[in-house]
Structure 1
Amino acid sequence: MRILLLTHGRAWESGTFVRALSLGKALAALGHAVTLLSARRDAGRAPLCTELDGVRTVQMPGLLAARVRGGGLSPDELLARLRFLHGQAFDVIHCFEHRPTVALSARFLCRNDHAVLVRDWADLWGANGYADSRSFLMRHLLGKVDHYGERAFTRRADGVTVISRYLHAETLRLGVDPDRICYLPVGATPPAVPPPDKATARRQLGLPVARHLLLYIGIYHHDIEMLIAMLPHLLAQAPDAQLVLVGPGLLHTVARLEAAGLGDHVLHVGQIAHAELGAWLAAGDVMLLPYVNNVVNVARFPQRFGDYIAAGRPIVTNPTGDLGALVRAQGIGVLAADNPVEFAATVARLLADPVQMRAMGRRAFDLAHGAFSWQTLGARVLAFYAGLMA
């Protein structure tokens, strides 16, 4: 098959880009021709073309601010996409979200082609979702556009992949036939080269060998407030614990922790290359994934889950959405109540039980190589495509 993956996010900085690329690599490994279009990471006038594990990736040109380009709202990028796609033919067009640079590009192609149009729904953008946290003006402008767009695009697509059971139910409520829906959670891509063992990884990275290291990977998100509030309570029970923050946009979080006198227990790594991530994950004892109970979190599924299970480490999270249900059902971590004191106590109890930690880590590792590997999920999506084309 000739498969086109469209995402509005900037290359490497957007969760939808990582999701689309991960699926694309799995589809390419199964012998299919895959092209992935995204926004450029940096503004520029020319497309940037590369090949990654069989996936032709094209970062489309755009000159507007990063927030506009990465938000799928850039008119100059949309025109560049239309020019680039003119005359090309695909069997499947898989759209990751609904913003104009994605939806209008797909509709342009489908006017002159018989491609199957698939929509991936991975976040709740409109009312009851991200729109509710925006300013009054943006909530009533962009929020209404998102609310209409994500639902209208879902109805018009030939098929829909959904990241959560919540969005599966929403898709059914929109009148989509159940046979046209495919559940596609976050997957894992185990490294081709096994990461070093914990002690070796720590020596390579210059980390203390004897301390308990707790990893949080990602950008700033309101859920990180749980970590900020829980750390003093954790240190009262596990004084050797150190919080390792990996990702961009966390300097303000680090400054707040330092102002609270917790700087000696926090290491901010910043943004690192994906190729280096495996060593940092291998160095950790526990993966932290605070995930408070709200509709936005119930609807989505955090991308870093795949990295966590591929590392073979236990996860501490909250009993929210598909993530909480999966962690409980698969025995790959522990669930904490939605408050800092209980979250800290849950982490401390896990750190005090190395046998349980190892068992949970092994189950997570097996899950990453089995049902939740992108190879397994890619085969599922491929069968879904075939069913839509039949």
Structure 2
Amino acid sequence: MSRITYVSQYFVSADQPGGVRHWQHTRALARAGHDVTVVTSYVQHKERTVPERYRGRRMVRETEDGLDVWRTYSTPGYGRDLRSRIANYGTFALWSAVAGARAPRPDVVVASSPSLPSAAAAAAMAAARGARFVLEVRDLWPDSAIAMGLVRDRHTIRVARTLESYCYRRADRIVALTEGIRDGMVELGVSPAKITLITNGVDLEIGAPDGRPADVPVPGDAFVAMYVGAHGTYSSLETVLGAAELLRDLPGARVVLVGNGDRKPSLVEEARRRGLDNVVFADPVPKRDVPAWLARADACLLPYQDNELFAGALPNKAFDYLGAGRPIVAAAPAGELTRMVERAGCGVAVPPEDPAALAGAIRALASDPGGARRMGAAGRAYALEHYDRAALAERFVAVVESVA
């Protein structure tokens, strides 16, 4: 048995909105007999709020699902501007380092990036406490931030590059979320032998597509095209609104957008301005409830911006859609996501930021419900064969144990 400290600013359980990758992997480590400490923030970053029980406290130690969880402060004002993001990342890096110093001495430190400052702090913690270090990279930061125009300041980029290089050098093993992330690290000089690809996957224990559908506020006979996820910088939900406008002549169709994020207020206002009565906005739901919402969907949307960055995207929500057995409409640059859709036969890929193409794909699925169901069934079968989260979690455990 080894002592493992797992550092992630964004640690979400099935009872909260968001991805549960860290929750699943840490629980798998605990089930394998390891003593697992989690260091995370108590700030609900998607809502930028602090739960009442944590207010006025800088650090709280709890036991959850057999895990020793240290929840720390980070500034809740995470937004689109660089200053608030740096404050959010920096304060968590500081308090995670304090928590890591107080927690039991680990044999292995695992850190998940983003955020990059907290990953660097975890790497330093591992060095200071004589532990091995495993780095999980879920986003090529700062490359992604630069590509999206979120970071332009040369000094900030130079600091980020230094932190990135330090994390890669210190890591005994690296886990990459996608092929694009793996290849990006290799281009930066990281040895391929150091990297293991472990994608997101289908969470079979959380829900199944044959459960009772959620009470979605749409007509009972409506054809529902649904998006479940962050209403933020990466997803091009403006394209979805454009498609909804082109679907006005399809009275039985509804577009349902479930989630929250910094772009949501402007999206709601834009839909109101256009008079899009066929668009429904819903609050974020706990991960455990996502399958029930998707059970009411007839098609699921993955809209991205027209940016080469997203050719390497393979998001968690794609696996939610596959697990629910619903066809996917991927409006994304040609890459990992579109290749998966084609290989699995689970939907349709259209060009990004093209409302007409997106509307056409939704219209085609609405006109062929039998074909849509067959695509959904093919996607679920493909996911169960290739992307079972339990099997992927076992691979993650093996990576950690290889350095313990």
Is TM more than 0.5 here? yes
Q: Secondary structure at the match of 1:221?
A: coil
CA distance in 2: counterparts of 1:284 and 1:57, whole angstroms: 35
1:278 is paired with a residue whose SS is: helix
State the Cα distance separating 1:373 from its structure 2 match.
Answer: 2.0
- In 1, are the aligned partners of 2:322 and 2:383 still within 8 Å (CA)? yes
TM-score with structure 1 setting the length = 0.86
Q: Partners in 1 of 2:224 and 2:342 — Cα distance?
A: 22
Is the Cα–Cα contact under 8 Å of residues 94 and 118 in structure 1 kept in the other structure? Answer: yes
**How much has 1:135 moved relative to structure 2?**
6.2
**Pair 1:247-2:259 in alignment:** yes
| Paired position in structure 1 for 2:243 | 230
Aligned equivalent of 2:172: 158
Tell me which of 77, 98, 101 is aligned to 2:118: 101
- Are 1:7 and 2:25 an aligned pair? no
- Taking structure 2 as the reference length, the TM-score comes to 0.83
Partner of 2:189, secondary structure, is coil
Give the Cα separation in 2 of the matches to 1:88 and 1:214.
Answer: 48
Of the candidates 213, 219, 222, which is equivalent to residue 208 of structure 1? Answer: 219
Matches for 1:139-154 after TM superposition, within 5 Å: 139-154=153-168
Tell me: CA distance 1:63–1:381, structure 2 relative to 1, closer, same or farther (3 Å): closer
| Aligned with 2:140 (options 124, 130, 136) | 124
Measured in 2, the distance between the counterparts of 1:80 and 1:378 equals 24
Specify whether residues 293 and 68 from structure 1 end up closer, same or farther in structure 2 by C-alpha distance, changes over 3 A only. Answer: closer
8 A Cα contact 2:29 2:397, kept in partner = yes
User: Quick one: which of 265, 268, 273 aligns to 2:278?
Assistant: 265
Superposition deviation, residue 95 in structure 1: 1.0
CA contact (8 A) 1:163 1:300 kept: no
Match of 2:29 among 24, 27, 30: 27
- Percent of counterpart pairs with the same letter? 25
Once residues 359 and 321 of structure 2 are traced to their aligned partners in structure 1, the CA distance between those partners, rounded to angstroms, is 19
Distance 1:192 1:302, change over 3 A: closer
Cα distance change on mapping 1:92 and 1:259 into 2, 3 Å: same
Q: State whether residues 90 and 117 of structure 2, in contact with CA within 8 Å, keep that contact through their aligned partners in structure 1.
A: yes
- Asked if structure 2 preserves the Cα contact closer than 8 Å seen for 1:117 and 1:158, the reply is yes
Report the Cα offset of residue 125 of structure 1: 2.3
User: Structure 1 CA distance, aligned partners of 2:191 and 2:296?
Assistant: 45
What CA distance in whole angstroms lies between the structure 2 residues aligned with 1:47 and 1:364? 43
Match of 1:58 in 2: 70
CA contact (8 A) 1:126 1:148 kept: no
Report if aligned partners of 1:9, 1:72 keep a CA contact under 8 Å in 2. Answer: no
Gaps spanning 5+ residues in structure 2: where? 44-49, 79-83
Give the residue type in structure 2 aligned to 1:2.
R
Alpha-carbon shift at residue 312 of structure 1 (Å): 1.5
For each residue in 1:162-203, what CA deviation from the matched residue of structure 2 results, as whole angstroms up to 9, or x when unmatched? 112222112222333322111121222124454555xx525x
Is the Cα contact below 8 Å between 2:240 and 2:355 reproduced in 1? yes
Tell me whether 227-236 or 160-169 shows the greater mean CA deviation. Answer: 227-236
Give the corresponding residue for 1:352.
Answer: 367
Q: Kindly provide the amino acid, as one letter, of the partner of residue 167 in structure 1.
A: I
Q: Which whole-Å deviations, capped at 9, do the CAs of 1:346-384 have from their partners, x for residues lacking one? A: 121122222222222223323443421221111112222
| Contact 1:190–1:373 under 8 Å retained in 2 | yes
Q: Counterpart in 2 of 1:341?
A: 356
Range 349-358 or range 308-317, more displaced? 349-358
Q: Secondary structure of 1:57's partner?
A: strand
Letter of the 1:375 partner, please give it. Answer: A
Q: In structure 1, what is the equivalent of residue 230 of structure 2?
A: 219
CA 52–330 in structure 1, closer or farther in 2 if over 3 Å, else same: farther
* Selected match of 2:290 from 277, 286, 298: 277
Question: Residue 304 of structure 2 aligns to a residue in which SS?
Answer: coil
Q: Is the 8 A contact 1:218 1:247 kept in 2?
A: yes
Q: Which residue of 2 aligns with 1:302?
A: 315
SS in 2 for 1:245: strand
**Cα displacement string for residues 204-227 of structure 1 (whole angstroms, at most 9, x for unaligned residues):** 445422100111112223421221
Contact 2:39 2:99 in 1 (8 A): no
Name which of structure 1's ranges 40-49 and 343-352 shifts more when overlaid on structure 2: 40-49
2: CA distance between counterparts of 1:86 and 1:50? 14
Q: Aligned AA for 1:349?
A: A
Q: Aligned partners of 1:306, 1:150: CA distance in 2, in Å?
A: 28
Quote the RMSD (CA, aligned, Å).
2.8
Partner of 1:72: 89
Q: Distance in 2 between matches of 1:10 and 1:192?
A: 16
Residues 340 and 382 of structure 1, relative CA distance in 2, 3 Å threshold: same
Q: For residues 96 and 31 of structure 2, what CA distance do their matches in structure 1 show?
A: 29
* Counterpart position of 2:101: 85
C-alpha separation between the residues in 1 aligned to 2:87 and 2:340? Answer: 31
* Structure-2 separation of matches of 1:312 and 1:50: 36
Pick one of 174, 178, 183 that aligns with 1:169. 183
Gap runs ≥5 in structure 1: none
Q: 1:254 to 1:81 in 2, by over 3 A?
A: same
Q: 1:306 to 1:64 in 2, by over 3 A?
A: closer
Letter in 1 for 2:370: V
Rounded Cα–Cα distance in structure 2 between residues aligned with 1:296 and 1:278? 28
C-alpha deviation, 1:144, in angstroms: 3.0
Letter in 2 for 1:310: G
Contact 1:60 1:81 in 2 (8 A): no
Which of these residues, 343, 354, 358, is aligned with residue 329 of structure 1?
343
Alpha-carbon distance between aligned partners in 2 of 1:124 and 1:295, rounded to the nearest angstrom: 13
